[in-house]
């Protein structure tokens, strides 16, 4: 058996935990036996849902009854102490017992507890929250999505290097093409920080990625660039807008195709195309945001996703370790 990737799993975070988390692990394991799951949470509940569905060589349960609540502020979560499932999972990565940590729990708490436990990569000032978005040609990495409301030009240059490293580790056969999210494509558009970042990236001589200047919000899905960089405020607004628009389109289409006899006949005739359309906009396929800039990767699964979405975020964990993400960032920085 080849060397397994060790994933620390906070089993108690997010809606429907731990059942959803364990179902996601079982689903992920059925697809490929490449991961070892170190599961943190209430052993009695976890065993109940595992129910001999995975060989014991592929998992270990670390029992704790303490959890970070979804309603906790980051400070309250940190004060809950070192015996919560989230803290213990992060601590196992810190101690190098596992390669990567994942949680579907409280995002603010996950970021703060990760920063308390894990060191920053040298010469990086701020970590960033990044995620995958679909585009016409494949996928894009987008960052920062809310970890840093205000950023300096150095931070945005760092995010560009980290985003390019992440893209290369996930898609080793493709070249990163980086752009800054802005209100226009002309050089004179935007605030002073983004204009300064443009100059720094334009002058930077690197083989790590191609810099394509600015990208506007209406071009995010075009696929001409595959690494999109912004501060956390702008990135989070863009992410929520894209998610809301995708949900609106899917729901309106569903209403239109089920509201009349003609609509129902049309949907039956186009069932294959509709399935492709639905799959393309399925957020579960893109689940798994990555907190990068720390010396170990931290993956955040959406709290409201189902077991399929959680399984897909376990795939992200696998790919960032196989793609040697941390060393790629260290080389570029």
Total domains in the chain come to 2
pLDDT tens digits along 55-80: 889 999 999 999 999 898 988 888 88
Pairing of strands 177-181, 138-143: unpaired
Rg (CA), the chain: 21
Residue 102 shares a structural domain with residue 197:
no
CATH code (residue 144): 3.40.718.10
Please state, for a pLDDT cut of 70, what percent of the chain lies above it.
91
User: Is pLDDT of 261 > 80?
Assistant: no
Residue 39 shares a structural domain with residue 171:
no
Residue 106 shares a structural domain with residue 231:
no
Residue 242 shares a structural domain with residue 301:
no
Looking at per-residue pLDDT, the higher value among 223 and 157 belongs to: 157
Q: What angle do CA 66, 127, 174 make, to 5 degrees?
A: 115
pLDDT tens digits along 293-330: 999 999 999 888 899 999 999 999 999 999 889 888 88
Tokens in use for 159?
A: 């995010």
In whole angstroms, what is the distance from residue 269 CA to residue 265 CA?
6
| Helix-helix angle 153-170:325-332, to 10 degrees | 140
Band of residue 221 on the pLDDT scale cut at 50, 70, 90: confident
The parent domain of residue 307 ranges over 1-119+294-326
Residue 185 shares a structural domain with residue 220:
yes
- Rounded to an integer, what is the distance from CA 230 to the centroid of its chain? 16
Residue 6 shares a structural domain with residue 90:
yes
User: Is pLDDT of 282 > 70?
Assistant: no
Residue 80 shares a structural domain with residue 39:
yes
> How many CB atoms within 10 Å of residue 192?
8
Domain contains 161: yes
Residue 61 shares a structural domain with residue 154:
no
Residue 45 shares a structural domain with residue 191:
no
Domain contains 331: no
Q: What angle do CA 84, 88, 94 make, to 5 degrees?
A: 150
In whole angstroms, what is the distance from residue 128 CA to residue 75 CA?
19
Residue 315 shares a structural domain with residue 185:
no
Looking at per-residue pLDDT, the higher value among 46 and 281 belongs to: 46
């Amino acid at each position: 058996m080849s060397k397994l990737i060790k994933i620390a799993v906070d089993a108690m975070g997010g809606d429907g935990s731990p059942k959803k988390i364990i179902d996601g692990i079982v689903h992920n394991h059925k697809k490929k036996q490449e991961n070892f799951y170190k599961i943190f949470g209430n052993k009695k509940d976890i065993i109940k849902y595992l129910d001999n569905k995975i060989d014991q060589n592929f998992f270990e349960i670390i029992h704790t009854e303490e959890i970070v609540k979804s309603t906790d502020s980051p400070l309250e979560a940190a004060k809950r102490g070192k015996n919560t499932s989230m803290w213990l999972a992060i601590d196992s990565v810190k101690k190098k017992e596992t390669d990567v940590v994942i949680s579907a729990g409280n995002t603010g708490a996950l970021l703060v507890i990760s920063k308390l436990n894990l060191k920053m990569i040298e010469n990086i000032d701020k970590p960033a929250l990044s995620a995958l978005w679909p585009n016409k040609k494949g996928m894009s990495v987008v960052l920062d999505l809310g970890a840093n409301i205000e950023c300096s030009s150095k931070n945005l240059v760092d995010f560009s290097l980290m985003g390019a490293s992440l893209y290369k580790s996930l898609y080793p056969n493709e070249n990163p093409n980086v752009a800054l999210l802005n209100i226009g494509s002309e050089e004179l558009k935007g605030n002073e920080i983004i204009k300064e970042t443009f100059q720094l990236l334009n002058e930077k001589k690197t083989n790590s990625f191609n810099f394509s200047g600015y990208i506007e919000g209406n071009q995010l899905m075009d696929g001409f660039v595959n690494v999109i960089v912004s501060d956390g405020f702008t990135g989070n607004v863009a992410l929520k807008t894209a998610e809301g628009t995708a949900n609106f389109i899917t729901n309106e289409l569903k209403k239109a195709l089920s509201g009349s006899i003609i609509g129902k006949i049309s949907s039956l005739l186009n069932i294959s195309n509709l399935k492709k359309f639905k799959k393309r906009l399925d957020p579960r396929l893109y689940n798994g945001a990555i907190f990068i800039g720390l010396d170990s990767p931290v993956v955040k699964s959406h709290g409201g996703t189902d077991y399929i979405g959680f399984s897909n975020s376990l795939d992200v964990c696998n790919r960032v370790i196989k793609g040697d993400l941390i060393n790629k960032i260290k080389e570029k920085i």
